[in-house]
Structure formats: structure tokens, C-alpha cells
Amino acid sequence: MSQVLVIESSARTQGSVSRQLTGEFISHWQAAHPADTVTVRDLARDPVPHLDATLLGGWMTPADQQSEAEQAALARSNLLTDELLAADVLVLAAPMYNFGIPSTLKAWLDHVLRAGVTFKYSETGPQGLLSGKRAIVLTARGGIYAGGSMDHQEPYLRQALAFIGIHDVRFVHAEGLNLGAEFLERGVAGAKAQLTELV
């Protein structure tokens, strides 16, 4: 039995293509793997605060010297990190905002990329601690960016995930969504077809 963690990051709770893709993924996955557990964390409905001095204090201040705010920030980071540690499969839903990922997804990453927990520093440099996990990234893009210089999603997410030891990463891009009805239909259909193959 596997644990699947789905991270939703679209600011839109209605009419979101990335949410359509996660819904499709979950449906296919549960049909193919009925014993698995799927956990969904929705960063629009339950936002994660951006990295600030309080969270840094929670990480770096000795427990007996932490303020209540630092303790609460550390507890939240621990919860998010524990969800990731427990997952065998990580699914990131990432609409493209201004050529990159939503700031809510960046905030989540800032909570879970943690020295000594999800990666460590060694004599040969950083070493990821989450080997053996796989990740699937579902993107939704108004234009067509895959493989181009304006795609700052895929390179960044590949690097961030590799940094914590997740190297088995598959991207499913729904592109051209704002280029007209034909592109929209083709982009969504193509992404859903890839999802079926992945599951």
C-alpha cells in the first residue's frame, strides 16, 4: 500500500485546469490502486505562510528559548514535512503564474526543504534524504513554454526535488490554454491522456 500526497496550488477553486488534472489523476489512481491512501493539501483553501523570521527562529532557536509564535511555526513546518516524508508518491499541481510556480507552492517548498530532515550537508555537498520517492508535476499554462527559455517551472522544480533526493519526476503539461478553444481542448485532452499512461 502506498501513500500519495497531492499538493494543490491554483489560486482558483473553480474553473482551474490544474485542479481538473488532479481530479483526473486521483480518480484513475484510486481505481488502479484502491488500497492506497491519497492525501490532498490545498494551498489555496489552507495557505501556508511565506518564509519569515518566525519560522527561521523555530528552526534555529533552542526549544526552551522559542517564543509561542516560533513554536507554532515549527509545528506547522513539522506537519508539512511529516506529510512529505510519509508519501511514496508526490503530486504537485502547478499552474504557471508569470512564468513560474505559484507563490503558495514556493512557500510550501520553503517549509519542507529542511537541512537535517529532507536533505543534509556532507563533505561532498548537499545530499537528498528522500530517495525512493517519485513525483508527478501537473502544470497548466496559458501559452506554450515546455523546453523554452521562459519555462521557469520545470527546471526549478526538478532542481528543488532532486535537492531532497527525488529524482524520479514526470511532468505533464497542459499548454496553450489561452490560445483559443482548439488549443484549450487539445492541451487538456493531451494532459489527461498522459495521466492515464502514468497511472
Q: What is the CATH number of the domain that holds 146?
A: 3.40.50.360
pLDDT at site 47 = 95
Tell me how far apart the alpha carbons of residues 102 and 96 are, in angstroms, rounded to a whole number: 7
Tell me how far apart the alpha carbons of residues 175 and 191 are, in angstroms, rounded to a whole number: 9
Provide the residue range defining the domain that includes 162. Answer: 3-198
Tell me how far apart the alpha carbons of residues 191 and 186 are, in angstroms, rounded to a whole number: 9
Q: In the predicted model, is pLDDT for residue 198 greater than 90?
A: no
Q: In the predicted model, is pLDDT for residue 197 greater than 90?
A: no
Which residues are part of a known binding site?
10, 16-18, 96-99
Exposure on the CB side of residue 61, measured as CA atoms within 13 A: 18
pLDDT at site 105 = 98
DSSP state of 115: B
The whole-model pTM stands at 0.95
Do residues 52 and 70 lie in contact, with contact meaning Cβ atoms separated by under 8 Å? Answer: no
Mean model confidence pLDDT for the chain: 96
pLDDT at site 120 = 96
Which residues are part of a known binding site for FMN?
10, 16-18, 96-99
Q: In the predicted model, is pLDDT for residue 51 greater than 90?
A: yes
Tens of pLDDT, residue by residue over 16-32, are 999 999 999 999 999 99
Instruction: Give the number of domains in the chain.
Output: 1
